Structure 1
């Protein structure tokens, strides 16, 4: 929060950061607009702009004497906006003192100038010493945070949404279900789980757990399995997460290898090739934070491709990396819509897949 003193013991965390999560990027260094920088999406965009001579890029990209030749010169302006505040500069972040500046530099002393160049960074925020120190203050804390005591003014929230909020959506109300022909409701309503034909689905007590999925903050889409730094932080796998009381009820314990089985996948397997199946198994993790009667599995693990297996390309063997095959992918045990036969349940309005309307049983593998 603003005006909070950064304790000197943070030096220990910065030492950890240097060796664990802030290594120099592993990609090659290229030169764009005369600036050495690691190959990245932004570097590709900048080099395209350089080759095409696009306006808004180069030595005067942000205006006379304000270059846009490196991604730092773009992103640091976001931080400068945060440090400057929302009220015409009347709520600026505090100015970092000399000790904070030293902490900031020490945390990045192992990085090359292609990544961290204090002069380049300072110039990116306008060569204003006060503003630069405010930016350092924000970066040292990973953001800017308001004290919880300021959440309300009287009995109203401090930061109010003062635009129109529509509860009725005419575009939805005039639309029709493609199979039933009935109009959708233009209001937010609660409905039972239904298939593509609009028929209610009733789950058997044979499948006692409602399955839901989510994305770990250090994961995301399936492609993040190749990010070994974040995989280390997650112990290289995901889990079948269950409430402790449910585990005790079913004779399971933390660390058990379990298999998920669903109403339309009684074996709990993923068919890959004729005669080749991958079991939907994972390590059980008991947690109080999981609601009884549900199990959770995070997304992005349990691959059988993405470089996890050996592949032959033009007669050359490309060795797979077994780290990319760890964990569990729950998709195949989610209920198949019995109307269309080959897809999961889905939202009839937006068309998105349902990641929560499946019930499963959990058995020891």
Structure 2
């Protein structure tokens, strides 16, 4: 184990974003490696996830009346790293890999109860940074996908959507439809990631394309976007359809100046008449799903029956630019910064 440095680098919020965050809203600073107190684990981070969900933290938190990062705060995010030091009672040993939520920095001090021992259940440790847990918990716990279902996944090329299609297939879905922003991504989704059809934003109205792709309607929708795509999902819903709301990317991308929300009109009549359920979702509400997902994900990866689409970007100095690329939708799957 290399000697412990006295300082390390972390990405901090430099200014409160005025609209969509830009790389210049962040800064990399050198700060002392934090001391470890009783009940805490010092972790040397190996990689962290750059997720569009950070938009919700930076933009949506204020709109929802929730606390978010302030200038000078390091950014939060899922990370994996090696234990440097831990309490004897924790059972953690130096060099052991753990997962936690204090990414965007080279070293982190994490409460013992917020460290997850990773073990060797996945063939690639970085796969622990996939957002498959979110997709899996949503599809098994809230949407309860059944054999024969037609499933719609918005934002299909993102970190959640690129795995959600493959998971839905393994849960018995008969047809999986996605939405995305470009024909090039649509080709990847249909040829490599298990989608039967993909609706491309901007080509023609989403509702029209969805009606062609699912003429008999949809049973489940996993929505990460909101806006016109959620409206189309409601319109296409079959009786007793289940719509799970994971994100509101359309609202966050619409942020201009001080604006943080994008109003959405929904016709309540079909929702009531077709008894459509619509529920907000956070995977953290389903901790029981994590171990189950990790086991199944590992088995599927070992068997070669599922892929983990992702882009690895090397160096903390490239993290802010990587975040902008995620917001702009330049990648398929998860984006990981390796340290």
**What interval of TM-score do these two structures reach, taking the shorter chain for normalisation?**
under 0.3
As a proportion of its length, which structure holds more helix? Answer: 2
TM-score of the superposition, structure 1-length normalised?
0.21
Structure number having the greater strand percentage: 2
